[in-house]
Amino acid sequence: MSRKELLVAVLSRKRASFSKGWYKYSRNPLSVLGFIILCLIILAAVFAPYITPYPEHAGAYTNFRESSQSPSPTYFFGTDTVGRDVFTRVVFGYRFSLVLAVVVLSLSIPPGVIMGLVAGYFQGSRIEIAIMRITDIFLAVPPLVLALAITVMLSPNLFNQMMAISLMWWPWYSRLVYSITTSLRHEYFVREAELTGASKLHILLREILPNCLAPILTKMSLDAGFVITVGASLSFLGLGVQPPKPGLGTMVADGAKRLPAEWWMAVFPALAIVMVILAFNLVGDGLRDMFAVEEV
């Protein structure tokens, strides 16, 4: 087989496995719905300055003549107490939520996965005991509590919030990867690699890690929702995105003070939070079906 033929063969196999995966994923219409909603939210957040009717309302803008307007064709979600369009601010608020999820997951997954691989592979060693005990300590209280304490002590803003949540998030991955690694540790393919003299690095990264990817990916999608929940909760307490920037949690907190007469200020940002978390959960469920992952 020539190089070109080989390439074509590999590509068509890849495409076949992709369409098989998509077939399994799309069996559940809710997963497809979640995927569509998620894509729309991401696109809206990325192109927020171009698609929102009043991009200048995302910052420190005031127009008291238009303040506290109820939803109308001019302002889909109404306006807030200083006359800013709630719809515009919700779309911009998605930017912060999505950035939070991306940053937290990309900061916390690599160390968590490495710790889990090492602890699981060197079962019975001191390294394993050290890593798993530290993991236990971080898992002893829910992430919100320590993230709250740390954000407060560092001074509240979006950056510190991201750092605090990332610090709380890696243990979940180290425990997930640890349990997979310990179960694979004595499989024949790992034994064989050991016998042929493969390096530890090769065994961990090329033999064991690929088997962890499906659960990690599934957990990532579900976790993105959780991270956004924790972030929104912190913002709700005033510990996230600082005004005048629009954070979804902050907007709900401000709007809650105006209930019930000016309900739109709290209700639409709250619905926006539910929508993005729901979308991530539906996609996560779909991935779980697709990879046939048992537990995440």
Partner 1 sequence: MGKYIIQRLLQSIVVLFGLSLFIFFIARVMPGDPARVALGSLATKEQVEKLTKEMHLDKPFPVQYYFWLKSILRGDLGKSWYTRRPVTTDLKAYIPATLELILFAFLISLVIGQVMGVLAGYFRNSWFDGLSRLISYIGVAAPPFVVAIFFLLTFTYILNLTPAVGRLSLGATPPPQLTSFIILDSLLAGRFDITLQALKHIVLPAASLALANIAQEGRITRTSISENLQKDYVMAHIVYGIPTKSTIFKYLLRPSLIPTVSVMGLAFAYQLTNAFLVEVVFMWPGFSRYAVTVMLNKDLNAIVAVVLVIGIAFSVVNIIVDIVVSFLDPRVRLQK
281 binds partner 1 (CB under 8 A): yes
Least Å from the CB of residue 249 to partner 1: 8
Shortest separation between residue 16's beta carbon and partner 1, angstroms: 31
> Other C-beta atoms within 10 Å of 141: how many?
11
Q: Select from 228, 230, 223 the least CA-distant residue to 284.
A: 223
Query: Residues 174 to 233: which contact partner 1 by CB under 8 A?
Result: 225, 229, 232-233
User: Which of 4, 65, 126, 133 touches partner 1 by CB under 8 A?
Assistant: 133
Backbone angles phi, psi at 47, to 5 degrees: -100, 25
Quote the tokens at residue 261.
Answer: 């007469």
Name the minimum Å distance from CB 123 to partner 1: 18
| Closest to partner 1 by CB, 43 or 141 | 141
- Least Å from the CB of residue 51 to partner 1: 24
273 binds partner 1 (CB under 8 A): yes
Distance CA 101, CA 132 (A): 25
Q: How far is the CB of 108 from partner 1 (least distance, A)?
A: 17
Cα 132 off chain centre by: 24
Cβ distance to partner 1 smaller for residue 8 or 145? 145
What 3-state class would DSSP assign to 67?
coil
Whats the size of the chain, residue-wise?
Answer: 296
Q: Which residue lies nearer to partner 1 by CB, 117 or 270?
A: 270
CA dist 283 and 39 (Å) reads: 11
Residue 204 Rama label (left phi>0; alpha psi -120 to 50; beta): alpha
Position 237 contacts partner 1 (CB under 8 A):
yes
Whole-angstrom Cα distance, residue 35 to residue 143? 27
SS3 156: coil
Considering only residues 136 to 175 of the shown chain, the ones binding partner 1 according to CB under 8 A are 136-137, 140-142, 144-146, 148-150, 152-154
Size of the site for partner 1 (CB under 8 A): 39
What is the distance between the alpha carbons of residues 134 and 110, in angstroms, rounded to a whole number? Answer: 16
To the nearest whole angstrom, how small is the minimum distance from the Cβ of residue 148 to partner 1? 5
Question: CA 36, CA 286: separation in Å to the nearest integer?
Answer: 12
Residue type, 183: S
Q: For residue 130, state whether it binds partner 1 (rule: CB under 8 A).
A: no
Of 83 and 284, the one with the shorter C-beta distance to partner 1 is 284
Site residues, partner 1 (CB under 8 A): 30, 133-134, 136-137, 140-142, 144-146, 148-150, 152-154, 225, 229, 232-233, 236-239, 252, 256, 259-260, 263, 266-267, 270, 273-274, 277-278, 281-282
